[in-house]
Amino acid sequence: MDENQMIFGELPTNPLLIVISGPSGIGKDAVVGLLRKTNLDTHFVITMNSRAPRPDEVEGVDYFFVSREEFEEKIANDDLIEYARVYSDYKGIPKSQVKEAFASGKDVIMRLDVQGAMTIRKLCPDAILIFLTASSREEWINRLLERRSETPEELELRLCVAAKEYGMIDQFDYLVVNSDKHLDQTISDIQAIIKAEHLKTHPRKVDL
Q: Active-site residues: which are they?
A: 54, 147, 158
The span from the CA of 151 to the CA of 145, in Å, is 10
Contacts within 8 Å (CB) and 24+ apart, 78-85:
80/48, 81/120, 81/123, 81/208, 82/112, 82/116, 82/119, 82/120, 82/123, 83/48, 83/116, 84/113, 84/115, 84/116, 84/119
Q: Is 175 helix (H, G, I), strand (E, B) or coil?
A: strand
CA distance 186 to 78: 35
Taking a C-beta distance cutoff of 8 angstroms, is the pair 115, 108 a contact? Answer: no
Backbone angles phi, psi at 105, to 5 degrees: 85, 10
Nearest to 84 by CA among 35, 128, 49, 43: 49
DSSP secondary-structure letter at 47?
P
